[in-house]
């Protein structure tokens, strides 16, 4: 296990153990207050509801505490080097969770930190979301092996982490996106290596019919991620054929479930009848952020 969780790649060999622990934690099978006396610093350069609250409550339930640090208020926001911030926070806290604009800044923070750094979303990845999503799939289907998931929409942070985690859990994954919105090439290369090692398949296509064939779980995310706002009108046009509506859901298996990391915009990437319908598990998925992250916190912060 690497010292920090910046990418799904960092837990390549531990992902099943972390998810097993998350299931046990959710079932109440966890020692009392394993992180008593531990403190997590939480740096946010972007908005958050789920990540902020689930990490904060998760630390509290594990017996520790979390400190919310908005980058607007930190000296980092006034130009203090990330390296100095990392060294100083390491003298006070036992772990740092960061939601950052640039993934490279999180790599820099981890490089200079003496305590574990956990990625709470960057422009490149959202590994904690992927863990929660996989916990949700396991709860619903009993196992991951042999299942196929499909992400419909932007080749973004959320889909990048799904591309990496799906083959590690022996699942096939398709990603349907408009031309020009394909996922990061380096991520796809690694995901295909993982797929080769685990005898699974990764499909990247702009053809919804190909992507949704024999799919057990349909994922989407906003068309305009935080930071992409100036492309809003262009994106609304480009993504319109990729809206997850009942017609699109009918291309997946009858018993397929619908997932969305949230926040969602009803009427854009997903219609109300789908996200509020019986195939949707989005609120179980949101709840699972906390259970999955408690397992991560235990792994990284427990003595
Ligand atoms: N899904 C997710 O990360 O939500 P927040 O932006 O509310 O943290
Ligand atoms: N892709 C979205 C995820 C939000 C949780 C974003 O980066 O804004």
> What is the model's pTM?
0.98
Residue 40 confidence (pLDDT):
98
The 10 Å Cβ neighbour count of residue 112 is 17
Nearest protein CA to atom 1 of ligand 1, as residue: 261
The CB-based long-range contact list for 19-23 (8 Å cut-off, 24+ gap) reads 19/131, 19/134, 19/135, 19/138, 19/292, 19/295, 21/295, 21/298, 21/299, 22/131, 22/135, 22/288, 22/291, 22/292, 22/294, 22/295, 23/135, 23/138, 23/139, 23/291
Nearest protein CA to atom 3 of ligand 1, as residue: 51
Residue 1 confidence (pLDDT):
38
Low-confidence ranges of the chain (pLDDT < 50): 1-2
Cβ of residue 19 lying under 6 Å from some atom of ligand 2: no
- Give per-residue pLDDT as tens, 5-26: 999 999 999 999 999 999 999 9
- Give per-residue pLDDT as tens, 86-131: 999 999 999 999 999 999 999 999 999 999 999 999 999 999 999 9
Residue 294 confidence (pLDDT):
98
Residues with catalytic roles: 99, 126, 129, 221, 261, 289
Residue 80 confidence (pLDDT):
96
List 291's β-bridge partners, or say none: none
- Residue 40 parent element (H or E): strand 39-44
């Amino acid at each position: 296990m690497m010292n920090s969780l910046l990418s799904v790649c960092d837990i390549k060999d531990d992902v099943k153990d972390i998810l097993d622990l998350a299931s046990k934690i959710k079932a109440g099978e966890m020692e009392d207050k394993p992180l008593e006396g531990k403190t997590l610093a939480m740096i946010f350069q972007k908005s958050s509801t789920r990540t902020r609250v689930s990490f904060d409550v998760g630390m509290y339930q594990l017996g520790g505490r979390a400190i919310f640090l908005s980058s607007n208020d930190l000296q980092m926001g006034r130009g203090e080097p990330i390296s100095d911030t990392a060294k100083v926070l390491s003298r006070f806290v036992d772990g740092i969770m960061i939601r950052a604009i640039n993934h490279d800044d999180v790599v820099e923070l981890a490089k200079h930190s003496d305590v574990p750094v956990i990625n709470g979303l960057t422009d490149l990845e959202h590994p904690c979301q992927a863990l929660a999503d996989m916990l949700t799939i396991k709860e619903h289907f009993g196992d991951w092996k042999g299942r196929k998931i499909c992400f419909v929409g932007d080749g973004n942070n959320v889909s990048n982490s799904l591309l990496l985690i799906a083959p590690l859990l022996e699942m096939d994954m398709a990603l349907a996106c408009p031309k020009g919105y394909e996922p990061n090439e380096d991520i796809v290369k690694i995901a295909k290596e993982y797929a080769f090692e685990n005898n699974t398949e990764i499909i990247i296509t702009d053809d919804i019919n190909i992507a949704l064939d024999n799919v057990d779980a349909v994922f989407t995310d906003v068309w305009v991620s935080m930071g992409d706002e100036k492309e809003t009108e262009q994106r609304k046009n480009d993504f319109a054929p990729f809206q997850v509506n009942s017609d699109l859901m009918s291309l997946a298996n009858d018993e397929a479930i619908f997932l969305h990391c949230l926040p969602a915009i009803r009427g854009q990437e997903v219609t109300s009848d789908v996200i509020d319908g019986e195939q949707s598990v989005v609120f179980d998925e949101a709840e699972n952020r906390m259970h999955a992250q408690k397992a991560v916190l235990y792994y990284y912060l427990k003595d």
